[in-house]
Chains A and B, each alone.
Chain A
């Protein structure tokens, strides 16, 4: 909410078409984030192609979640620029970034506990639609409600759709987080440790959901569990102390001696 409330330039149609056609899904140039004297992020350069699936790895405090917060606008970046499908979104408030097709999930579920599963997803669907100011309740044939029900099915929550979120299991809450990120035609999603705390069965279900996403829907996933990260991602970015430490294919990263020493530890492989 500290982001400047500027009215963003919509740009000409050709400009926007251009932006969706050739540009990278996400392009960070020299992004830094300072908390007082502490540099949570320093000089991050990151490029993700449309449809690309990227895993971000790194120890605690490496700056992974801060990176997400800067991209979505939860925090304003201290310096640098962020382009989303070619459009400079550095100065945009969070909701404007979301309305352009960016989505995220939170590491600690931020759900509306007193609402049902369906209402939570419906809220997410209205947020990016024009009906977010609607004083009318949705009718039976409401298209938003239909797509909401569909999303609930995608994340395997159809049996719990009328359950209050407070009564869901932890794993179901994580699935609901994903459904909310999928609402309203996303173009790119940031998943913040979606597998944390899940049981092995829930993990494989999560992998199924993630690999089942439409091909044009790129994402970045923060994940400690290498099995999950390497199965859903085609490229890997290693972060360390607020910097990008290494980028490459999963196999290269896994075999990189520096990475192994730093992150994977001796026990791995």
Chain B
């Protein structure tokens, strides 16, 4: 696997520096404008349940994409880290369970929640990076399962089975951030910020070195890099993303319970990241959008053709199989295949790029 996708990654430094405006592909500008004016023509349901959900789920899947795509580490603990973020915002901030919730102001509760999520993610990563491949998946799955059962059985901190409800975003600037339009812009803002952060870090020394560690750990050690420390730091950064996603999700649903980070959602994040594509940070958001749309409308679609509505997971499963079978790089890979096929000269049967 090549270190990065040269076509989409902006060059780190070159003498002929074009301004960043010119480097952004036109498709991104169109997408950006469409997303910005979306509330003008979309209803609350679409804004909140489709886009809002896609954005924060995409952020959590993005944290997995960062680890798996750039670091070669498939971690199943990302949803649990998001869960930690969500639980902590409920515990340190305001919720209906006022016997446990501390009710601290948002500017204390949010940083503390993120710090604890990062600590949790770092510890999980510290355990996981000592292993490779399937064992990393096993260890992170074990941590995720342990977190699920622990939150379900612990009533002192996590309020057991029922978890927390009434977890609302702070009424900052006099805006009720749970309303569809404000929440849409809130999640859009964080999704774009996280996306750009990952894109930026991927070409900064840390991200370059992470990709080097993925491709050739031995060589990286021979260049003076501490491979283990680098992998653990990647987990910390990914945990920050997952924590942000988790807090947004908790605010959106105004509740968090053990099921939020149950085994099902844990696997969903992996499915989303793979469907979208692990090679570029836009992938997880595409995957999240497709997943959310399928989950929302598959039931109706199945009923319409006379099948039982509760089989929507089947549809998602088939979609997953098709994508993994036809394009291991997800939707992004399919897109690139289509573009390559278009660039192909039918007479020479060669690509236009001289490959």
List residues of chain A with CB under 8 Å of any chain B CB.
Answer: 1, 5, 72-74, 93-95, 98-99, 104, 106, 110-116, 118-119, 122-124, 126-128, 131-138, 140, 142, 145, 162, 164, 166, 180, 183-184
Contacts and interface: CB of A to CB of B under 8 A. Distances in A.
A153 to B, nearest CB: 14
B339 interface: no
B220 interface: yes
A119 B9 CA distance: 13
Given A122-B12, A126-B205, A164-B6, A112 B222 contact: no
A1 B6 contact: no
B224 interface: yes
B225 interface: yes
A213 to B, nearest CB: 19
Interface string B110-140: 0000000000000000000000000000000
B13 A162 contact: no
B233 A133 contact: yes
Contact of A115 (B1, B3, B220, B226): B3
B209 A127 contact: yes
A259 B261 CA distance: 69
Nearest to A112: B3
A93 B218 CA distance: 11
Contact of B209 (A94, A123, A183): A123
A72 B2 contact: no
B217 interface: yes
B205 A138 contact: yes
B233 A74 contact: no
Interface string B205-236: 11111011001111111111111101001000
Nearest to B219: A110
Contacts of B212: 112, 123
Interface residues of B, number: 39
Given A114-B4, A140-B13, A142-B13, A128 B224 contact: yes
Contacts of A166: 2
The 5 closest A-B pairs by CB, nearest first: A114-B2, A114-B3, A127-B223, A127-B224, A98-B224
Nearest to B203: A137
B201 interface: yes
Residue of B203, B205, B216, B221 most packed against chain A (CB within 10 A): B205
A112 B12 contact: no
Given A112-B215, A114-B2, A140-B13, A135 B204 contact: yes
B308 to A, nearest CB: 47
B12 A98 contact: no
A126 B211 contact: no
Given A112-B215, A115-B4, A137-B12, A95 B224 contact: yes
Contacts of B19: none
Residue of A111, A123, A164 most packed against chain B (CB within 10 A): A123
B218 A134 contact: no
A72 B12 contact: no
A113 B4 CA distance: 9
Given A115-B3, A115-B4, A123 B208 contact: yes
A112 B211 contact: yes
A132 B225 contact: yes
Given A112-B212, A135-B201, A1 B227 contact: yes
A119 B208 contact: yes
B203 A114 contact: no
B14 interface: yes
Nearest to B215: A112
Contact of A137 (B13, B209, B220, B223): B13
B79 to A, nearest CB: 24
A247 to B, nearest CB: 27
